[in-house]
Amino acid sequence: MKHPGKKALVALIAVLLLGSLTTWQLTRNKNKDAAYRTAELKRGDLLVSISATGTVEPEEVIDVGAQVAGRIVSFGKDAKGKTVDYGSVVEAGTVLARIDDSLYAADLAQAEAQLLSNKAGLQKAKADLNQAELNWKRAQVLGSSQALAQSSFEAYESAYKTALAQVAVSEAAIHQAEAALTRAQRNLGYCTISSPVKGIIIDRRVNTGQTVVASLNAPSLFLLAKDLTRIQVWVAVNEADIGRIHPGLPVTFMVDAFPGETFQGTVGKIRLNASMTQNVVTYTVEITTDNADGRLLPYLTANVQFQLLRFTNVLQAPNAALRWSPPAKEGEAESGTKKPGEKGDKKQAASQAPGSDKTIGILWVLDENQKPSRIEVQTGASDGTNTVVEGADLHEGMQVITGIRLSASGKDMGGTNPFTPKLGRSKGSAGAK
């Protein structure tokens, strides 16, 4: 019994094979006709820039530390009455944290007691001086005579001078006690950590109950930004590019937090303390920008472009077109005895035009026979993708060659017939000769 569905299936397969073969043949012919990749000359604006990466930084950051050691017992309140934390806005003098002050209060009490003791000692010394002075005066009246022995006379004199010196010692002890008292008062005051300026807390580095130890270096408790409306971008610039950057240069940058949005800035300062990483020398460039809306947060990564030169309404050619030259076979007829692509040709393409800062370049176009034809042009600034070009034969929309679609031998690089059976791949096959 015959099945009509089989005939339909065979017919469908035949149609699909015929369609695939036709499509492959059209693609093959199209690839042969379009042997070269081309691009058109465009007219527009061109920006010469230097790209770098930087970090958004607060303009002025204050590291608030502790000058005494102790345990954090509590935090202060911010302007809204909430416990001081990340992002808290504080005024100058706002209490940020308190350290356990029991030991320092005891030191203060001891210093006060010592001062009272030294003051009492001064009073006693003055009383002794008064008595010694009276004795010494009487001894001077009697003099060294039968009424007063010489030894007694000398003893009164020595006692007076000793009492006088003791008064000076007591007065010095009082000054020393007063200094110790002042120090104890200061240490007790240091147990209360206050904000030195008005600003916002970027980082809180301690918790309640944590013990801070102040030795040679003051431990950091808070990181405070004075004003986040004044923000900077710190950019590491390679030494090869730093000579083209100067204060006042316009800058644009983007951050990942706001994709597609461009921020404006200007170069403010170039720091002279260069750093070296893996034998690469870089300089830090400070970029100032407006952050009145507070959208830029500290320590965001910024992709920066330093705008060196801007050209308006200039004719541009793709850099790939200026780098390309045809194989020797195709280029000999158009360029004479010198083959494009030889060292001499490259030297000419890179030479400088007389009386100008522009250089000579070579572009290739297709003539009426679809063969590469050479055009000598003057090249100017480049943004890395396109280059400014000038020439009498150039015009907007002109197609210039950027590459080859087929191999130099003319073989189709688009592939072989998918329906041709593959009989063998060995070197000894008939088609391997």
3-state secondary structure 6-25: HHHHHHHHHHHHHHHHHHHH
Residue 17 inside a domain? The answer is no
Rounded Cα–Cα distance for residues 9 and 415 (Å): 29
Q: Tell me, rounded to whole angstroms, the distance of Cα 230 from its chain centroid.
A: 16
Contact 201, 84 (CB under 8 A): yes
- Residues 254, 367: one domain? no
Q: Name the pLDDT band for 425 (thresholds 50, 70, 90).
A: very low
**Range scoring the smallest mean pLDDT among 253-262, 268-277, 322-331, 383-392:** 322-331
- Residues 208, 257: one domain? no
Residue 160 inside a domain? The answer is yes
Give the mean model confidence (pLDDT) for residues 196-216.
88
- Residues 93, 202: one domain? yes
- Residues 283, 165: one domain? no
**Looking at residue 80, which CATH number applies to its domain?**
2.40.50.100
Give the mean model confidence (pLDDT) for residues 199-205.
92
Q: What residues does 62 pair with on adjacent strands?
A: 224
- Above 70 in pLDDT, residue 336? no
pLDDT given for residue 214 in this prediction: 74
Contact 52, 67 (CB under 8 A): no
Residues of the chain with pLDDT > 70, as a percent, come to 78
Interacting residues of 274 by C-beta distance below 8 A, sequence separation 6+: 239, 281, 282, 283
Residue-wise pLDDT for 148-180, tens only, equals: 888 888 888 899 999 999 999 999 999 999 999
**Range scoring the smallest mean pLDDT among 1-10, 94-103, 365-374:** 1-10
Residue 433 inside a domain? The answer is no
Give the mean model confidence (pLDDT) for residues 421-430.
41
pLDDT given for residue 161 in this prediction: 93
Give the mean model confidence (pLDDT) for residues 265-272.
95
Q: Name the pLDDT band for 384 (thresholds 50, 70, 90).
A: confident
Residue 11 inside a domain? The answer is no
Residue 282 inside a domain? The answer is yes
pLDDT given for residue 23 in this prediction: 59
- Above 90 in pLDDT, residue 268? yes
- Residues 214, 331: one domain? no
What does the mean pLDDT of the chain come to? 83
Order across the sheet with 211-212: list the strands: 192-194, 95-99, 70-75, 211-212
- Residues 386, 329: one domain? yes
Give the mean model confidence (pLDDT) for residues 313-332.
82
- Residues 148, 291: one domain? no
Q: Name the pLDDT band for 21 (thresholds 50, 70, 90).
A: low
The number of folded domains in the chain is 4
Residue 418 inside a domain? The answer is no
Rounded Cα–Cα distance for residues 268 and 420 (Å): 69
Q: Name the pLDDT band for 327 (thresholds 50, 70, 90).
A: confident
- Residues 181, 209: one domain? no
- Residues 156, 139: one domain? yes
**Looking at residue 371, which CATH number applies to its domain?**
2.40.420
SS3 317: strand
Structural domain boundaries enclosing 384 = 34-46+313-404
- Considering the entire predicted model, what is its pTM? 0.64
- Residues 127, 173: one domain? yes
Residue-wise pLDDT for 25-39, tens only, equals: 555 544 444 488 999
Residue 168 inside a domain? The answer is yes
pLDDT given for residue 17 in this prediction: 72
E strands present in 226-279: 230-238, 250-255, 263-270, 275-277
- Residues 185, 288: one domain? no
- Residues 213, 79: one domain? yes
Which of the two residues, 331 and 230, has the higher pLDDT score? 230
Six token digits for residue 114: 């010592």
